[in-house]
Amino acid sequence: MNEFELRRADSVEAAVRQVGANPDARFLAGGQSLLPTMKLGLASPSLLVDLARIPGLADIERLDAAAARATPVLQIGAMATHAVVASSHTVRACIPALSDLADRIGDPAVRERGTLGGSLANNDPAACYPAAVLALGATICTDRRAIAADDFFIGLYETALEAGELITAVEFPIPERAGWAKFAQPASRFSLVGVFACRGASGAVRVAVTGASTCVFRSHALESALGVEWSAASCRRVPIEAAGLTSDMHASADYRAQLVRVMAGRAVERAGVDAA
């Protein structure tokens, strides 16, 4: 690993200013993706700006409907760790599927350090959170704007974030029901295929798939089927095209296509009625 300077920011403004002033600088959240990348020599930032001491950046709160917001939302700060999300009573009461998802990321050490914001900014093709963010139609709030989930995930490790743009929080509309199921890659625990299925407060169905391609995506075939009949059996009848899905040493595209159908069925089975 190359030498680098570490600074601790005490506000969002200070963090953004420091990273903005140096094209080689990176934000440091839990370090669970960035530090391994640096150890492998795939990234060599000269400056890391640690976000851990910025007050309020890990807060979790339910915000009720208001003039600017049609439905209640669950707001989770970017620096909330996976362990905190998994154990939060507020998250469990609003969107239990999100607690389940966070509780099954990696191992206990990864969950103690890894954060929501870091996972989204990194946009690993097999990461779990992007599926929840996309299926729930969440909004990613940054230091300068609000980005709809549909516009956020662009491609392999690529997002709509501009250079030096900091995720501050994510707002999840509280759904009527939602479920998460993943077939974990046995060594890393990342999703070989993961599916998050949700029926929103308005009745609209959204289904997002991770691990199956170079970037998280919505399955419109599953959404249509579940819009007609919300059941695991309905998922099993949907033909999932293998073309365009990832084939690698862990699984063929055909196997992943089959997993999409099976995981979607399990996600629907696990979806309880949420406390909207």
Ligand X SMILES: Cc1cc2nc3c(=O)[nH]c(=O)nc-3n(C[C@H](O)[C@H](O)[C@H](O)COP(=O)(O)OP(=O)(O)OC[C@H]3O[C@@H](n4cnc5c(N)ncnc54)[C@H](O)[C@@H]3O)c2cc1C
Q: Which residues bind ligand X (CB under 6 A)?
A: 26-34, 36, 51, 78, 105-106, 110, 113-115, 117-119, 121-122, 124, 127-129, 166-167, 188-190
Of the pair 140, 226, the CB lying nearest ligand X is at 140
Q: Cβ 41 to ligand X, closest distance in Å?
A: 15
Q: If you ran DSSP here, which 8-state letter would residue 176 be given?
A: S
Minimum CB distance to ligand X smaller for 112 or for 227: 112
Measured from the CB of residue 169, what is the shortest distance to ligand X in angstroms?
Answer: 9
Q: How far is the CB of 190 from ligand X (least distance, A)?
A: 4
- Tell me which H or E stretch contains 226: helix 220-228
How far, in Å, CA of 83 to CA of 175, rounded? 22
**Number of residues that make up the chain:** 276
Minimum CB–partner distance for residue 110 and ligand X (Å)? 5
CB 149 within 8 Å of CB 233? no
C-alpha distances in Å from residue 177, one per residue of 125, 136, 234, 237: 25, 10, 17, 21
| Cα-only R_g, the chain | 18
Query: 29 or 257, CB closer to ligand X?
Result: 29
In the complex with ligand X, the residue whose CB is nearer, 120 or 207, is 120
Helices 253-270 and 96-103 cross at an angle (nearest 10°) of 130
Token couple for 239: 């033909």
Q: How far is the CB of 54 from ligand X (least distance, A)?
A: 9
Asked if 272 contacts 228 with a C-beta cutoff of 8 angstroms, the reply is no
Instruction: Output 196 or 199, the one with its CB closest to ligand X.
Output: 196
| Residue closer to ligand X (CB basis): 183 or 190 | 190
Residue 37: which of 23, 51, 52, 48 has the closest Cα? 48
The CB-of-219 to ligand X minimum distance in angstroms stands at 19
What CA–CA distance (Å, rounded) separates 198 from 208?
9
Q: Give the shortest CB-154-to-ligand X separation in angstroms.
A: 14
Angle between the N-to-C axes of helices 253-270 and 220-228, in degrees from 0 to 180, rounded to the nearest 10? 30
**Angle at 141 (CA atoms; ends 161, 272), nearest 5 degrees:** 115
> Among residues 106 and 227, whose Cβ is nearest to ligand X?
106
